[in-house]
Amino acid sequence: MELTLETRPFTQIESGALVTYAFEGDKPVDAVLTDLDRTLGGELTRLAESKELTGKWLEMTLIHYPQGMKAERLLIVGAGKRDKFTSAELRKLAAAAARYLKSRSVKRLVFLGRADDLSAASAEAISEGLLLGEYEADKYKSEKKNGTSLESSALAGWSGASQADGERGLRRGRIIAEAQNFARELGNEPSNYLTPRVLAHRAEQMGRDFNLAVDVFDEKKLQEMKMGALLSVAQGSAEPPRLIVVTYTSEKAAPGSPVLGLVGKAITFDTGGISIKPANSMEEMKFDMCGGAATLGVMHAIAHLKPGIKVVAIVPSTENMPGGKAQKPGDVQIAMSGKSIEVINTDAEGRLVLSDGLHYARQLGCTHLVDVATLTGAIVVALANVNTGVFGSDTKFIEQVLAASRIAGEKMWPMPLDDDYREMIKSAIADIQNVGSGKGGGAITAAAFLREFTGDTPWVHLDIAGTAYLTEGKPWGAKGATGVGVRTLVELAMTLKS
Ligand code: BES
Ligand code: ZN
Ligand code: ZN
């Protein structure tokens, strides 16, 4: 979808629909909407009086052939309570408007910013929302969703003194939304199409398109590198594993500046292996590579945004299958770090592939590590499908990641990781075991396992099992992969200082 800035007055702009928003309260048609109301001969005031326009969150008030304008429709979206309204709400609101209008065959949408909020941040949130809302997972459908899509959109209102802010916000919003949609596209791919080899090809293609260095290690190389934990998961599958490494190097990076390592779990399908999963919802396990997809999405964005630090994405990728050569419960594996692991449950495979990914990231000289993974069902028990779980070893770095998530508008919540949890991953015959003994705390013992491979490098673990995909569509987004993590980690890469 094309996205541009329109500097003409809103009455002059031709479109299928002009969109703006109103806040809930005694006076949804406030001073900012007076201009619009006057053009419409008081139509908005009348709608507010009849309670057809209240400003309630995501209420849609649609007017056909609005008086005094070249737009075919006017859509007023309810923004909810003013004191609860942030960029995150504005992004969702714009996305919901895009989805509402495209389902009504609108081809061109113009989003009119409110005169009291013409910042770069708002232009960014609206641009992101429009592009995220437009996205459909309809690649394999003969007839595209609703037979419609938006062909073009524009932002209006940012003219004169605010035009530069509008342009800046639009550019950044587009870059980040396209990166997030890239991650969603990978996430939504069925596992018969997106194997580890195909994922590696996609990363290589991105590297060529955006001038990023991409290294792909095959099973032979992984053996030489002694990535025993990653290989142990791969051995039950006919599809070979890959380790994908994407590097962005900044010309501006000063000596001693941080090197950010992003390690993403990319199990292209998780059957559970010999500890096989029940059939119910097993199809969702094609999403078990969404962490890896998010880290590739971050690289997609920063290739354009060019932060002043080096950033490396490390993506261990394999299927987890119960083939004849599959590892079995009770097997002992030696990770790349040299630690021995007793595999109690072959379905706890994410932590195995990440352990080698994290160790390798340290070898590459990363000074800060963030891993992103659909790691545990237990995090969904704790936080439902609302927050991403945040774990880590370094309070300052955890706070930096949480601050980035707040700015990015991705909900994340800190989880505990005291030394006591270490006791729960002790093995009788190896250094550690891959599941916690005793009851409960499954998301925490998984994090405790990962910590064993991070040494003294500041590290944060994001468990996105509950937030990586939607099992039902929302007004602001299609069912399927969400691209969660991309916005937070782009923000982190752009702001990280040691
Ligand atoms: N990929 C799953 C975690 C998952 C669950 C992701 C639900 C998305 C939605 C992971 O590999 C897994 O199976 N974890 C096990 C660990 C257990 C065996 C210790 C789990 O959470 O049940
Ligand atoms: Zn699993
Ligand atoms: Zn998994």
pLDDT digits (tens, 9 = 90+) for 388-417: 999 999 999 999 999 999 999 999 999 999
Query: Encoding tokens for residue 486?
Result: 């991309």
Query: Encoding tokens for residue 437?
Result: 């003994």
* First-last CA distance in the chain: 38
Provide DSSP, 379-441: HHHHHTTT-EEEEES-HHHHHHHHHHHHHHT--EEE----GGGGGGGB-SSSSEESS-SSSS-
pLDDT at residue 211 tops 60: yes
Query: Encoding tokens for residue 457?
Result: 């490098």
- The pLDDT tens digits of the residues spanning 314-347 come to 999 999 999 999 999 999 999 999 999 999 999 9
With a 6 Å cutoff on the Cβ, whether 410 touches ligand 1 is: no
Q: Where are the domains of the chain?
A: 2-134, 190-495
Query: Encoding tokens for residue 54?
Result: 């209240």
Cα(354)–Cα(366) distance, integer angstroms? 15
Q: Is 277 assigned a catalytic role?
A: yes
Query: What is the Cα 323 distance to its own chain's centre?
Result: 32
Query: For 113-123, what is the mean pLDDT?
Result: 97
User: Among residues of the chain, what percentage have pLDDT more than 70?
Assistant: 99
With a 6 Å cutoff on the Cβ, whether 350 touches ligand 1 is: yes
Superfamily for the 2-134 domain: Leucine Aminopeptidase, subunit E, domain 1 (3.40.220.10)
Cα(289)–Cα(97) distance, integer angstroms? 30
CB of 58 closer than 8 Å to CB of 42: no
With a 6 Å cutoff on the Cβ, whether 465 touches ligand 1 is: yes
**Ligand 1 pocket test: which of 341, 375, 379 has the largest number of ligand atoms within 8 Å of its C-beta?**
375
Instruction: Give, as residue ranges, everything with CB less than 5 Å from ion ligand 2.
Output: 270, 347, 349
With a 6 Å cutoff on the Cβ, whether 345 touches ligand 1 is: yes
Query: For 148-168, what is the mean pLDDT?
Result: 96
Query: Encoding tokens for residue 382?
Result: 């704790």
Query: Encoding tokens for residue 234?
Result: 């791969």
pLDDT of residue 143: 79
**CATH 3.40.630.10: does it fit domain 190-495?**
yes
With a 6 Å cutoff on the Cβ, whether 377 touches ligand 1 is: yes
Q: Which ligand is nearest to the CA of 283?
A: 1
Query: For 83-99, what is the mean pLDDT?
Result: 98
pLDDT band at residue 148 using 50, 70 and 90 as cut-offs: confident
**CA-nearest residue, atom 8 of ligand 1:** 465
Provide the total of helices (H) and of strands (E) in the chain, helices listed first.
14, 20
With a 6 Å cutoff on the Cβ, whether 270 touches ligand 1 is: yes
CATH topology agreement for domains 2-134 and 190-495: no
Q: Which atom of ligand 1 is nearest to the CA of 378?
A: 21
Query: For 147-170, what is the mean pLDDT?
Result: 94
Ligand 1: centre distance to CA 377 (Å):
5
Q: Which residues sit opposite 269 in a β-bridge?
A: 319
Query: What is the Cα 258 distance to its own chain's centre?
Result: 23
CB atoms inside a 10 Å sphere around CB 278: 7
pLDDT at residue 418 tops 80: yes
**pLDDT, averaged across the chain:** 97
Which pTM does this prediction carry?
Answer: 0.98
pLDDT of residue 145: 60
C-alpha pair distances (Å), 483 with each of 205, 289, 297, 380, 445: 19, 11, 8, 17, 25
Cα(296)–Cα(118) distance, integer angstroms? 32
**Ligand 1 pocket test: which of 230, 277, 282, 376 has the largest number of ligand atoms within 8 Å of its C-beta?**
376
Tell me which of 70, 107, 226, 277 is the catalytic residue: 277
pLDDT of residue 220: 98
Backbone angles phi, psi at 150, to 5 degrees: -75, 135
Query: For 227-250, what is the mean pLDDT?
Result: 98
With a 6 Å cutoff on the Cβ, whether 349 touches ligand 1 is: yes
Burial class (CB in 10 A: 0-12, 13-18, 19+), 116: exposed
Cα(435)–Cα(311) distance, integer angstroms? 31
pLDDT band at residue 146 using 50, 70 and 90 as cut-offs: low
**CA-nearest residue, atom 13 of ligand 1:** 347
Cα(137)–Cα(150) distance, integer angstroms? 15
